[in-house]
A and B are shown apart, each in its own frame.
Chain A
């Protein structure tokens, strides 16, 4: 059947009913020619929607659940009765008990409409003054406040007076819908953004007020209000139609019958498109795979052939002729490597299709026809356009060409075969000869094949006569097999070896010898069998080898992925995780990695690698990253989006959204042309995304736990502390008031005593407040450990100096190592810990008993001991004394908060050290602090500062 030459430039239309197709269908079993793997078959047959589709559907439903419903009353021109229809429908809704409110409706003095309007609640309009003129505009805030169940907002395309919140009314409507309010509105087709120029061409009137198509597409429902042009003209004639201001001047031009017909067609078609979108959604929801021929969709199959452009243009014309959406698809076959030249031609072809308005897709699969058909079924394509093959290779003759396969599998999809070329994959011979980097290999392969036959012939010649000729035949087979095994990338060397083997066998071992003539015709059978077995064996061998290669490749992937995920699982720190991920990817793919993560506002921030510094590339990079984040798909090098970028950018997607973008900038631009490499990179990226998400969740959990703990801490603190705070305050207040009231009568010694007590108690209060502050700082983890190298001696000395007065009269023995002992600590904190221990010693041991401070290095730690000769701490209490607010039963009568030792523990913990208590032989306690011993950088011990020779001080 010929599908009008004029339309598509010589297109053959083959449908399911054409005999040709039936003949092909009749050949045994649809999948019999090229057996499909079972898995693929299942996928093809499955009726359930796939998980991505399901997810998208759920998300969409969720969004719709929150948003209000927008119903657009849509018409071809003013006067068709949209407002009237809307009001009628509003009354219906009101009768059903809905809360209907009129936001703004212009009746333009039409009595019928006015009548409908009366009786509906109407929102007062909001006066907006612009250039001295007052306009009564729709009051958005009032509507949002009123929150009706259903709001009527006429004239979606209306432009608001300057000074309103949004410049356009459709933006008001969006806000209303977002707020969960259902809205009825009206729209004329000429206000649709995409049709703006078409309308201008048809009517000669340019519409300035347009509405983006997305509003139209996302509307819950489109109600088409249709009136035949003749009736409309009649109504206009009777003056029943209000004509908008800008159209009145051009009234005669606008309301011409031709215009009205064209506008009506556009309105009908737009509505049909919308219905089509709904249809697709219905199909998605119900998992319907086979196409429903409702509206045409065209798919063109293209390749890297230079003959593709005419095919693409033809497809474009077909699509335009049918007013159909169209797609262009290329099937990438993983086992096939394209030359640079082919690759750039392919990209040119894809770009051309995109420029001409096609939705471009790159599919991946071993069988091009299967992938095309699957894609066509998913997208509800009705017509597949393929190029007319120029010739068939022997393989295609044997196993069926692409065109034949696609026709066979197309089912109810029409297949259009046009002139041009693309129906067959370019023949392999042509393709192979175009691979320059394989040339050296190929020469080597043929040489090896020839050499192998010669060697086998020589060995055979040596054996000949001593064994049966079958042995020689076997040897030839072995040779062919070895060649096939060695040069698995191509079947031709092994084929050559097979042919040469037959010839050599004939020449050397079949009488008459050293001659290609054959005396006994029986030998011809032997040749035939030898050749056939050789070819079969070589084919099998190559396949085994290929499978082994694939397996090895897979194993390498698995190993690489495993080592990545193992290392990633070892860390919960975002920085190190990003570093691990990037390092692995850089190693495996020989590329430079840039990693961006999104912050709370979704803005990308560079966390690893160096951003492009060149201005052009930098702006391209940021636009790619923006695109990737928005669309959640890969972009850049080796993709359909901005393929001239230097790197390939992949989204890092977690369960809760996009976490960032990973960019890989390979040293070799061709690296990611190989789809297996791309997929491996994707696998790596998803591992990184997973790990990133884990750290984000871990962070959240940790923060929540800290919040809970500090809350608990605060309440415990208040309970414990209020008493401790009040005691010194009571003493101070008492002493001060006594002094104020009875100044005259108090004896001088008593006066001094009272003053002394005020001073002592305020010291105590100060100390308590200091402890509380330390504790809460340490608890919240916000102490910036200001760690530097300090001589231990400095810190001990400083602590003793601080305690100087309270230690007066005590014997204090200090024993530190002779040599310089440097520790990397926050000296102020460690000093606090020592001061707390010394205070405890002073407080709880007899006034004349000695206190010792020892330090030594042992077991990878610096151990500092504070030893007293007090009553000691019972064994069963030793675990508890470092707990917050815990106090020994014996000391509970004394003032104290039970915070000192817990502060010590927190300080040591912040330094990765620990504190514990042992008992001293001979009575008393030994408090031990262990701080991890770190390697002192060599230079600190000695030479950091030059020795000053003779500067005058």
Chain B
């Protein structure tokens, strides 16, 4: 994939919008073009796969319910050859669909109906992750509010206080930092922190996440950083 110039309105990132509802496409086009993105639209899954290959978009917004092949299949097919960020457009109450799409390689999701600011935030996060993957060394430190994590020394501090995390807790936090701003499914977290043999141990994961939250959150019952996306996974909130 080619290196891209910083975002400008003339040659902004190219967004492939895949949705069979014309109203949704119209709204997405308006919102995206108004913010300096270029937009390509398609209605069907097959066209989406072709367009992804020929137009080489920077990001794909993908509805799961398509008239021909469903969004899962499109995700699977696109992931066979590229890591273009994919954001799923889904509806409330279909948490399992979201998890499935994310585990198939989608990067994030927004729940319909959504506002333009929310969508644009997700798109920005996804593009930022893509850029980081493409070039540059991994960042040496991460900070979020009072929370500061030195990734080279594995030091974690909240305000002035140094936090003592167990290796497991630190690993979990590191995974979340790597995906900061994006939702991380249980399976992804378990695979990256423990390895693929432990992907079904969701119940234990919740216990560890609670411990972690108790250490890094000033008010664990009203979390500011470590958000639980019920039925899907966790998200380290960045904005």
Contact = CB atoms under 8 A, between A and B. Distances in A.
Contact of B171 (A796, A801, A948): A948
A794 B151 contact: no
Given A762-B113, A814-B219, A949-B167, 13 more contacts: A788-B202, A789-B206, A793-B221, A796-B221, A800-B221, A827-B230, A828-B231, A831-B230, A940-B207, A944-B203, A947-B168, A948-B194, A953-B175
B208 A945 contact: yes
Nearest to B223: A797
B156 to A, nearest CB: 11
Interface residues of A, number: 40
Given A794-B228, A946-B194, A816 B221 contact: yes
Interface string B148-172: 0001001000000000001110110
Given A773-B93, A788-B202, A945-B198, A951 B231 contact: no
Interface string A749-790: 000000000010010001000100110010000000010111
Interface in A907-953: 940-941, 944-951, 953
29 contacts: A788-B203, A791-B206, A793-B213, A794-B206, A794-B210, A795-B228, A797-B220, A797-B222, A797-B223, A801-B223, A812-B222, A814-B222, A816-B221, A820-B210, A828-B95, A940-B207, A944-B201, A944-B204, A944-B207, A945-B168, A945-B198, A945-B205, A948-B171, A948-B193, A948-B194, A949-B167, A951-B193, A953-B151, A953-B178
A948 B201 contact: no
B95 to A, nearest CB: 6
Contacts of B151: 953
A940 B92 CA distance: 29
Interface string A837-878: 000000000000000010000000000000000000000000
Contacts of B194: 945-946, 948
B201 A798 contact: no
A798 B230 CA distance: 7
Interface of A: 759, 762, 766, 770, 773-774, 777, 786, 788-791, 793-798, 800-801, 812, 814, 816, 820, 822, 827-828, 831, 853, 940-941, 944-951, 953
Contact of B222 (A759, A789, A800, A940): A800
Contacts of B171: 948, 951, 953
Contact of B92 (A770, A800, A941, A947): A770
A797 B174 contact: no
A830 to B, nearest CB: 9
Contact of B207 (A762, A777, A941, A953): A941
A827 B231 CA distance: 7
Contacts of A794: 206, 209-210, 228, 230
A766 B219 CA distance: 31
A489 to B, nearest CB: 62
B221 A797 contact: yes
Nearest to B112: A766
A948 B174 CA distance: 13
A953 B170 contact: yes
B149 to A, nearest CB: 10
A820 B213 CA distance: 12
Contacts of B47: none
B134 interface: no
A789 B205 CA distance: 10
A951 B206 CA distance: 20
A174 to B, nearest CB: 47
Contacts of B203: 788-789, 940, 944
A798 B228 contact: yes
B230 to A, nearest CB: 5
Nearest to B198: A945
Contacts of A953: 151, 154, 170-171, 173-175, 178
| The 3 A-B residue pairs with the shortest CB-CB distance in the complex, in nearest-first order | A953-B174, A944-B204, A814-B221
